[in-house]
Structure 1
């Protein structure tokens, strides 16, 4: 498969492997060893089901999920409820998460290059501004191929960095295979499993995929190419996440080492495995941060412009205004060191409610007459139903965590 045939699937992989995923996967490995690798295998499977439906919607209708929800929801109050949920979770939530993406990329850049000359004394995180400018230039180009190629490069860089670190830590291969194929739930691991699945099955990626598919392919005859892109890119992203879990398991499981950020993982590897492991982890963290820092504003623009009926042209004023707003807010949160605890709590609640709603919309659009002969088969509906039920469980857990119930 030629590199030019990759695109939207790689955008999704670049989006779900961010600093938050690195931290979650690191904690899973450090606390439970290889035991939870199966959860990532499952999350990749669930992600493939959802993104494949999203891809078919984008290809057949030549429109994003936001536009299709708007056009097919005939009830006014349902349309406004969908608008409210999507705005709350994606616009507000992504602004906060964007701050985390930029902070993660900044930590990787700082480990590799040190502080930004001159500027660093004025800002607590000057690298966030620099990386924000890079993301701005990529998005402002308004060229889908430039954006695709940039993010494909980040995915490849992450692959080399995180897989390289994995091999340097000399993993226990028996433990790795047992973790993948043996379903186990260590005491206290339930929320970690939910977090691992939640970092891969992300609502805004569903909007991103449908819209980006319609920019790259225009005919249903391209469906095999769409699926090849998806079935290579998403498992590769899952493999990267699994490599991070296994790296942390090899290095820290059974040791009294505290990991509160992805940077802790990079620094803690040095005395155990040398400078190479630290540099590779820092490179991976930088690539994960900058790729998510680019895809989060892009996905927000696709989702909000689609549901509002605004232009989804990459160079339109409305489209640029949305992603620029998300980017500026993220840079502000990260560069000034703001800890927006209340806003993060709100975003978590909104995302918890949004996930099953979006999965429900996706399933509804995929089984009806909208897709014609490309609508869901019985077994695709069965798989969609399974993922829908799981999304409700994830939602309940997310809301319970936000409200301190469990």
Structure 2
């Protein structure tokens, strides 16, 4: 029974934890401008994150070591350092965006400018990272993030013509006013938001934190193969709400409040209050995950003791990294930079860094010295190779699309 409860809890937290500030903003922007014609990218991204999260979790369960730790050992310090730099830049950008997202969520209920809230949000996140148990961070915030199901309820309540809405799923239904270059830009952004590098590093390191063994592979796979797809459905619901309410009015999503506007139309103040709680939980949880990911990556590369399962004095370097990164992220936001803009940049540059993250994972997942009989089979390798091609295409296209579309404005 305990194993079944672990599966259920893991699935629930995966659903609530899948949607972060990048998914909230990008899916709403896409829905408001392109309807559902880019939903296929969400599906592509969800399958991709499932493929590599499963590999990453299996590596942790069988070897008892985190993926990033093995990447440095297996591919050498140079490749490990390249991986570190690429993933760290994106993870830090995402960390900044998530802290800003928490501040924006609090601004919605307090009317206090988000910049004034940043120091308090950063302090709260650091205290949680320092003192809270790993399971508490994952489970409490993940479960609270389930309140984002309000978007699915709102979409149902809006009562659209489902046949007509389904017909817009085709890429051919791209609005004529939008160029194909802009369509491609947002496609890359959606793909980057779904496959953000920190997710697999956090998932792997979390498996070590929770002391997974090969007996836990089934639980891990259930968390991945059920939780992430259901989290992807939430992303589609966000886009669907924006397509039904915002797109006909020509409203572009530029604030977090506009992301929640369709829920207010469908469910009133109570529904809006519920999803604002989801905004807070999703962004706070993702801020904790990205903050921990910066500590995990640096500590694992340089060989520090790391993790919340280790007493603080014994993992002093790990906790110093968390403190420094939190202060750095807060400092950037205190300059007045728009968190939504940081979010847009982070999801696109996430696509640029994807090959540096996922190619090494595929290499390690095929190594019999680490995984023995649990190394990749034919299906996992086929999917991994197919996705590497997609990832490289997205990475190569990202920078030219940024320039050609002026970050999606063209």
Using structure 2 for the length normalisation, give the TM-score: 0.85
Residue 64 of structure 1 deviates from its aligned partner by 0.7
Distance 1:178 1:217, change over 3 A: farther
Hey, what does 2:70 align to over in structure 1? 68
CA–CA separation in structure 1 for the residues paired with 2:344 and 2:270 = 37
Hey, what does 1:105 align to over in structure 2? 102
Q: How does 1:195-344 map to 2 (within 5 A)?
A: 195-267=189-261, 270=264, 274-314=268-308, 315=312, 316-338=315-337
**Contact 2:192/2:351, CA 8 A, preserved across alignment:** no
Could you list the per-position Cα deviations for residues 337-378 of structure 1 after superposition, in whole angstroms to 9, with x for gaps in the alignment?
A: 136999999977974543112211111111221211111111
**Contact 2:188/2:351, CA 8 A, preserved across alignment:** no
**Contact 1:345/1:402, CA 8 A, preserved across alignment:** no
CA–CA separation in structure 2 for the residues paired with 1:342 and 1:27 = 12
Query: Which deviates further from its counterpart, 48-57 or 365-374?
Result: 365-374
Give the number of aligned pairs. Answer: 392
Any unmatched runs of 5+ in structure 2? none
CA–CA separation in structure 1 for the residues paired with 2:333 and 2:189 = 23
Query: Which deviates further from its counterpart, 193-202 or 125-134?
Result: 125-134
CA–CA separation in structure 1 for the residues paired with 2:338 and 2:52 = 32
Any unmatched runs of 5+ in structure 1? none
Partner secondary structure for residue 248 of structure 2 = coil
Q: CA RMSD in A?
A: 3.0
Partner secondary structure for residue 73 of structure 1 = helix
Could you list the per-position Cα deviations for residues 134-177 of structure 1 after superposition, in whole angstroms to 9, with x for gaps in the alignment?
A: 32232112522222223322332333x33333334334322454
Residue 242 of structure 1 deviates from its aligned partner by 0.9
Hey, what does 1:55 align to over in structure 2? 57
CA–CA separation in structure 1 for the residues paired with 2:5 and 2:338 = 40
Hey, what does 2:111 align to over in structure 1? 114
CA–CA separation in structure 1 for the residues paired with 2:128 and 2:105 = 20
Hey, what does 1:93 align to over in structure 2? 90
Distance 1:405 1:85, change over 3 A: farther
Aligned mate of 1:164, from 153, 173, 181: 153
Residue 233 of structure 1 deviates from its aligned partner by 1.6
CA–CA separation in structure 1 for the residues paired with 2:296 and 2:187 = 29
Residue 114 of structure 1 deviates from its aligned partner by 3.3
**Contact 1:136/1:324, CA 8 A, preserved across alignment:** yes
**Contact 1:12/1:209, CA 8 A, preserved across alignment:** no
**Contact 1:54/1:210, CA 8 A, preserved across alignment:** yes
Hey, what does 2:387 align to over in structure 1? 387
Q: How does 1:166-181 map to 2 (within 5 A)?
A: 166-178=155-167
Distance 1:383 1:183, change over 3 A: farther
